[in-house]
Structure 1
Amino acid sequence: MNVSGALISFADPHALQGDGEVTGTAVETSCEAEITVEVIKNTKTDYPRIVNYENDNISGKFVNTMGINNNIYEAAKIAVREMIKYLENRGFKRDEAYILCSIIGNLKISEIVDVPNFVVTLSMPEL
């Protein structure tokens, strides 16, 4: 994909990859994929946000926010802040959003091998 200003890319498909990619590798493969991208006007995000329809073998619609930083704790904080912003845009108050991150959010290390780019993801069912 090559669209000026799109800020999106797709590459390096994997047949399998565990969260954390602890050895720096996964089961590499080639693929053809059909991707749907939705432009949400008047919205700004500084980090990747993904909506998917299955998460850890649980079906349903899930929202995932990411934090990327050279400090894994800061990456986690960014992922939480990004989810709070997402929930605020959906009508939740800031304190409600923060509580939801704690009680239904799943925070996990998504990538730890590409120092200095630690990736932490916060996932929760779409509300």
Structure 2
Amino acid sequence: DAALASVGLADFADAFPRELSGGMKMRVSLARALVTDPDILLMDEPFAALDEITRFRLNNDLLALWRSLGKTIIFVTHSVFESVYLSQRVVVMTARPGRIQADIRIETVEPRGEAFRTSAAYSDYCRKVSAALAPSYSGQSTL
């Protein structure tokens, strides 16, 4: 019950999966992970299949949860924008073999919100992460 409440689903504890939206199902997955009270949450593209509005909302919810729980979260995403918005640190990996291409610290004022998502600093970090990705998608490697 506490885990469901922490992801905003306390009122849906008795709902069947077919009664939940895609975003709610992602919240259930997060609640299931929180039940064991892990020190580290590993999240592998949890929001990839969601529409943009739901994804933005869940990004904000995840940041709020991270602030309240103080857990380390390792979040895998292919979205430059999502990585910059959610992270204190973005680690860019190369294509095969997967190696660290860049390690970029995202230093900005907390708590983040929509003002950060539209700021010049956010755009600058997105450009920096995109530039670190460029060798991987151009077929070149700097390693």
What TM-score comes out, normalization by structure 2 length? 0.24
Structure having the higher strand fraction is 1
What TM-score comes out, normalization by structure 1 length? 0.25
Structure having the higher helix fraction is 2
